Structure 1
Amino acid sequence: MRWKVAILTASDKGSRGEREDVSAQVIRELIEEEINGDVKMYKIVPDEQHHIEDALIEMADKHQVDLILTTGGTGFAPRDVTPEATLKVVEKQVPGFTEVMRSASVLKTRRAMLSRAVSGIRGTTLIINLPGSPKGVHENLQVIIDQLPHALAILKGVEGEHKS
């Protein structure tokens, strides 16, 4: 199955064109190579909660993508609000993905415990927050990518929870 994926970057500098969005490129490459994903949408917005919420809703509801991967805005900085925006729009939380990402990342850098990333479901769309750095995106996505096809298949009703 070919999965419809959207990438949302939360970055003040990126949204102003002051920084190249390398993290989104890393996401695109991994998704296309590892899970047969087709990136249907890409958007970069400033670190403003309402902009992030609006983009997530548009991607999930209007464009009906299967998976939204966000990058940026998951730390302690005052303008880091991606987790709050995500929690505002999801109907169910899916803590397992972010728990595993943090657990694996903390073995590489103790600063990983500062991640406030969350994951959840809106309708039939899975939303997962990733860090803002290209290295962090790669390391975190590598830890969960093998489970994404099964999770999406369950969410879409293509297969049951207990794959035989």
Structure 2
Amino acid sequence: MTHDSVRIGLVSVSDRASSGAYEDQGLPALKAWFGEVLANPAEFVTRLIPDEQALIEAALVELADLERCSLILTTGGTGPAPRDVTPDATLAVAHKVLPGFGEAMRAVSLKYVPTAILSRQVGVTRGASLIVNLPGQPKAIKETLDGVFAAVPYCIDLIGGPYLETRPGTVAVFRPKSALRASA
């Protein structure tokens, strides 16, 4: 069976990592997760940028409108600190807000840490791109993606993207029966 190829934008938002003060852990964690879970061939378009709202907005617009990424994931900058502006930038470039993503991501994280209630993560669409804010720590990235990715492929179907599938034994994708493709 052949799988649709997909372009995935990965944006790590960190003042310290982008300045070289320490090595970014978000982008490698995201690539590793997709390497284990995603059955589709994927091309990653990555950005490592500081916590600056204008730069985050520009990266998201570029990845959605110019790079044509079907899925864009950010990591970092989702808390209440003054420099945490990733959700603000995401909402500023959104065409539609999908509140269920933020609700579900916080619910997943609450199983692990009580501070999940401090997260301002959001999920939005911009044209044919789904943009989702993830936490910054590799362990939390994996936990969150494991908890919400089941809904991502169908969302991408609905906005005109490729048909995403996962490897057996990983995250079970949910689609209504009417949206399933026949197996080859």
Q: TM-score range by the shorter chain?
A: over 0.9
Residue 134 of structure 1 is matched in structure 2 by 138
Q: Percent identity?
A: 42
Residue 11 of structure 2 is matched in structure 1 by 8
> In the TM superposition, what is the alpha-carbon distance from 1:38 to its structure 2 partner?
1.3
> In the TM superposition, what is the alpha-carbon distance from 1:163 to its structure 2 partner?
3.5
TM-score by length of 2: 0.83
Give the 4+ runs in structure 1 shifted more than 2 A: 161-164
Gaps of 5+ in 2: 164-174, 179-184
Contact 1:74 1:115 in 2 (8 A): yes
Report the structure, 1 or 2, having the larger helix content. Answer: 1
Specify whether residues 157 and 137 from structure 1 end up closer, same or farther in structure 2 by C-alpha distance, changes over 3 A only. Answer: closer
Give yes or no for the alignment of 1:143 onto 2:143. Answer: no
Pairing of 1:16-55 with structure 2 (within 5 A): 16-35=19-38, 36=40, 38-55=42-59
Q: CA RMSD in A?
A: 1.6
With 25-34 and 116-125 compared, the bigger mean Cα shift is at 25-34
Pairing of 1:1-164 with structure 2 (within 5 A): 1-35=4-38, 36=40, 38-156=42-160, 162-164=176-178
TM-score by length of 1: 0.92
Count of aligned pairs: 163
Gaps of 5+ in 1: none
> In the TM superposition, what is the alpha-carbon distance from 1:124 to its structure 2 partner?
0.4
Larger radius of gyration: 2
Contact 2:128 2:161 in 1 (8 A): no
